[in-house]
Chains A and B, each alone.
Chain A
Amino acid sequence: MEFDTIAAISTPMGEGAIAIVRLSGDQAFEIADRLFRGAGGKRLKDAASHTIHYGHIIDPKTGLIAEEVMVSAMKGPKTFTKEDVIEINCHGGLISVNRVLQLLLNNGARLAEPGEFTKRAFLNGRIDLSQAEAVMDLIRAKTDRAMNVALGQMEGRLSKLIQKLRQEILEILAHVEVNIDYPEYDDVEEMTHHILMEKSFYVKKEIEKLLRTSQQGKILREGLSTVIVGRPNVGKSSLLNSLVHENKAIVTDIPGTTRDVIEEYVNVRGVPLRLLDTAGIRETEDIVERIGVEKSRQVLKEADLILLVLNYSDELTAEDENIFKAVEGMDVIVIVNKMDLDQKIDMERVKELSKKHKLVTTSLLEDKGVDDLEEAIASLFFEGTIEAGDMTYVSNTRHIALLNQALNTIDEAMQGVEMGTPIDIVQIDLTRTWELLGEIIGDSVHESLIDQLFSQFCLGK
């Protein structure tokens, strides 16, 4: 625990476009070397201390370039922690640092605990006595925040999935335990290699599924789930296209063009957004469109941020007012579009309806006002008004690393089964899988196995 190599993002989130991933420990050079391709073909592990290198981070699994980076290499003891330290500077904001961090974690580094760099600095005698107190405060404060995150997750979908999966593993474990501790007990069927294989296979598939959703939807791309709503034809799809800088959604002058929810991922000034363009909300007879409208209402409920679009050249309607009602209490940015056309909208009323929400005016046709909108999104995020994105971000890194480890252990369990290793030994790996999943949701108490044992089976003299 003390001597492994740790990694974390060390730039406070939201400060500038460059973020740094920092590695510290005996293996810092080695681990970074596995991922780094220097411009001149130079290997990082041979690098002299206190040098800076330009190059790329490669995903060793695919061989593809992941990020363009600058790497500072520093040998201990003249570093912050007195250990070997590597700092990787990334440009792409949160999404790209996250990707780099993830690669490091998959290649031998462990995610640092809150305050752990500072703690190491202290333990290695880098910081003096008076600063130690501050370190403890820091650990406490950061941990409390991490706890909030964990708690937030507890209620989330991920946590429910993990709890369900853990429960299934727990039942397998309890079953194996009963066979061991109560061998004479005849109404529990004997756990066989065959059953164990089936169950492990299932667990593996589930973990893979979790990883897939984590990786595609959540980490690399997910951030704030941001829903664009508005009446038909106000310019929602146009808004999506200009934020993505590409023509992803079909734009026509026919109201009701978008009929299903369109999803795109984009990084707005370092803030990862999952953009959802929806069917314009209105009462409609058209079945397909109506289904689309229904879906729009649904995604609304799960949104972290709402971009509510109005038409400057049209009067406010009852439908607009209804949309305002539907998003009450949520984080909303109101966008009045089509500023290039003649005003028909009652701006006073719009301001009234917007209450405390930010209000931005745009002409998407002329590409005006998009900067203001991006600014509004970024500041909402970094002022901490929106928390959801921050939380998924923090926890994702950790939980993906843990999911990957869990995947390894379940693989080992399956190999054991294939080899015909006794079930009680295979169980060692299965238990580890269960523990790792528990760490994701902050629950690894051994006692629950024993609870399970006695609630699932009727045992005793």
Chain B
Amino acid sequence: MTYEAGSYDVIVVGAGHAGVEAGLASARLGAKTLMITINLDMVAFMPCNPSVGGPAKGIVVREIDALGGEMGKNIDKTHIQMRMLNTGKGPAVRALRAQADKFTYQHEMKKALENEPNLTLIQGMVERLMVENGECKGVMTQTGAVYSSKTVVITTGTFLRGEIILGELKYSSGPNNQQPSIKLSEHLQELGFELVRFKTGTPPRVNSHSIDYSKTEIQPGDDVPRAFSYETTKYITDQLPCWLTYTNEETHTLIDNNLHRSPMYSGMIKGTGPRYCPSIEDKVVRFNDKPRHQIFLEPEGRNTQEVYVQGLSTSLPEDVQQKILRTIPGLENVQMMRAGYAIEYDAIVPTQLWPTLETKNVKNLYTAGQINGTSGYEEAAGQGLMAGMNAGLKSIGKEEVILSRSDAYIGVLIDDLITKGTNEPYRLLTSRAEYRLLLRHDNADLRLTELGYKVGLIREERYEKFLVKKQAIEEEKNRLQGIIIKPASEVQALIKSQGGSELKDGIRASDLLKRPEMTYEHIQKLIPAEGTLDPDVTEQVEIQIKYEGYIEKSLQQVERLKKMENKKIPENIDYDAINGLASEAKQKLKEVRPLSIAQASRISGVNPADISILLVYLEQGRIAKISAE
């Protein structure tokens, strides 16, 4: 039996990290949105690390915030500690990381969904999509409810035909013993989607009471209050520490001796796991010359004794896990509360998506998050935001948005996925971005607020504040560029005290700031600004002036890229009709269907000659049209 259950602009399937951003974005920009998820108690659940941010990922959280997303605000409200990473390095690679109270994180996120006026949140298991003539018109659940909509976003994470593997045990399940999503996976295949099998894993959790912390090193949060969101004004000061300990020879021998019981090595696991999250058995085998590996003990929240054992992801049998834990200093008497496990699941091959995250196969259908072959909460959230935004925009007849590689890490992430595909769960790394000096933690708002405002995800008040900040930065930069600092004695003294060489002549304040030993604060002492400037403003002034040369270089590269980006390839291009394209290139181009020459040139297997030929062909098309007119 089926029944008509209602009609919406947008339906979001799943309420994980991708789903919540998708639902909120779509609702906030004015589309009537329905969210359906398997279990309402598991909204924004963290099946692995109770942690948000880190290098690259932390910058994604800032970008999400600049585009009006929720992740940053939510973690600001619910973290147990926060740290700024890479403070000793350049501004391009600084990033925030927070340890989450994973339970309050879920509760606060659920609250945000429930309080969103345009959003309806319900429990249900989606089994089919309503597809007519290649267009998605809604979804159907296990109970026969049919919801219709203009667009649909699927964000089902690791649930598609999920299978948990723990030692010799293997069973059908979603993460953390939730109900898996089997029918939907089969249905996607019926619709013609190509699926791949990926794998990931998680470490055991242990009881804090049974840990001897005196044998470990403390890892406190920063003393300075930190926040991801540009809107956060209330800071959490009461932080919990994490703890560091190490594996040892005994641990490794134990693992070696039990490898035959590991599903990784017995061939039971077939899915491709990520190289950057190897299990402890992997680490011991591949790097067997290492005498020890780091183990971080991370509290899962303020109201729980469960501690996450970072560094010990494993799918070895439960009894072996127990023994491994007890070889580690501080964990000699530890009580394991949950065993670690691996999970295998289906993901769709992401080259089947347009850059908007709409599928090529089925119109008005979008996918986001781990279903697209990524891994990680932030990667999921970033895609969720973009897919929700675009599904929402499309449903109300507005133009969709594509972030480029020079706009945001989110742009890099999506472009990599849809252009190159991935043969392992994809994780963002700073090295994936070619313009990372432009894609900084500190300037996410300068990069994206304008866009967020334009699509209706940034409210007026915040936008006004943003404009004020932007103007203050420009004014202060102009001021420093306009003032000449003379080689007066107090100036020379200050420079000398910083180990610099004395001035021979007057120098522009901005040029003096470019010297490696000088900071904005020094300059400020010599030529104080009127009134006090916000630290956010002076940080921008300092970075923008100090690294001007490098920033300029990156911008020039971006300019060149833009030219190629502007050479659009029509969607209906017939690659078979183009003489001279190498057959591998032809096949790849047909698969990816790039929208611009720049995108085409990033496809592996498409070489410069193919690009030249493509350019000539496009030009030919243009001329043909002109002569036909």
Contacts and interface: CB of A to CB of B under 8 A. Distances in A.
Contacts of B310: 461
Nearest to A123: B619
Nearest to B561: A1
A420 B516 contact: yes
B55 A421 contact: no
Contact of A453 (B431, B563, B624): B431
Interface string A10-43: 0000000000000000000000000000000000
A119 B89 contact: no
A459 B279 CA distance: 10
A181 B437 CA distance: 15
Interface in A407-461: 419-425, 428, 445-447, 449-450, 453-454, 458-461
B563 A180 contact: no
A76 B517 CA distance: 51
Contacts of A137: 579-580
Interface residues of B, number: 62
A165 interface: no
Given A129-B620, A140-B580, A423-B90, A461 B277 contact: yes
Contacts, number: 141
Given A123-B616, A136-B580, A425-B547, A450 B293 contact: no
Interface string A170-213: 00010001011111111100000000000000000000000000
A114 interface: yes
Contacts of A139: 580, 609, 612-613, 616
A348 interface: no
Nearest to B308: A461
A144 to B, nearest CB: 8
A422 B89 contact: yes
A137 B431 CA distance: 38
Given A113-B608, A181-B429, A458 B564 contact: no
A180 B89 contact: yes
A249 interface: no
A422 B516 CA distance: 10
A122 interface: yes
Interface in B5-57: 48-49, 55-56
B3 interface: no
Contacts of A135: 616
Interface stretch (B251-259, B283-291, B486-494): B283-291
Contacts of A387: none
Contacts of B49: 461
A424 B609 CA distance: 33
B619 A424 contact: no
Nearest to A114: B609
B613 A422 contact: no
A143 interface: yes
Interface string B130-145: 0000000000000000
B430 interface: yes
B560 A1 contact: yes
B388 interface: no
Nearest to A135: B616
Contacts of B609: 113-114, 139-140, 143
Residue among A180, A447, A450, A458 having the largest count of chain B Cβ atoms under 10 Å: A180
A64 B56 CA distance: 52
B554 interface: yes
A138 B352 CA distance: 33
A133 interface: yes
Contacts of B91: 422
B294 A428 contact: no
A139 B290 CA distance: 52
Interface in B357-404: none
Nearest to A183: B85
Interface string B416-436: 000000000000011110101
A114 B131 CA distance: 48
Contacts of A132: 616, 619-620
Given A115-B612, A183-B85, A424 B276 contact: no
B44 to A, nearest CB: 20
A458 B431 contact: no
A305 B503 CA distance: 64
Contacts of B293: 458
A181 B430 contact: yes
A46 interface: no
Interface in A196-246: none
26 contacts: A1-B560, A1-B564, A113-B609, A114-B609, A115-B612, A119-B615, A129-B620, A129-B627, A136-B617, A140-B609, A140-B613, A177-B430, A179-B86, A181-B55, A183-B86, A186-B294, A187-B290, A422-B89, A424-B86, A424-B92, A424-B93, A428-B554, A454-B276, A459-B276, A460-B313, A461-B313
Interface of A: 1-2, 113-116, 119, 122-123, 125, 129, 132-133, 135-137, 139-140, 143, 173, 177, 179-187, 419-425, 428, 445-447, 449-450, 453-454, 458-461
Interface of B: 48-49, 55-56, 85-86, 89-93, 203, 219, 274-278, 283, 286-287, 290, 293-294, 296, 310-311, 313, 429-432, 434, 436-437, 516-517, 547, 550, 553-554, 560, 563-564, 578-580, 582, 604, 607-609, 612-613, 615-617, 619-620, 623-624, 627
Given A116-B612, A181-B431, A419-B516, 11 more contacts: A119-B616, A132-B619, A136-B580, A173-B431, A180-B86, A182-B55, A183-B55, A184-B219, A458-B287, A460-B283, A461-B49
Listed from nearest, the 10 A-B pairs whose CB atoms lie closest are: A422-B90, A420-B516, A143-B609, A136-B580, A458-B287, A140-B580, A454-B275, A460-B277, A424-B90, A180-B93
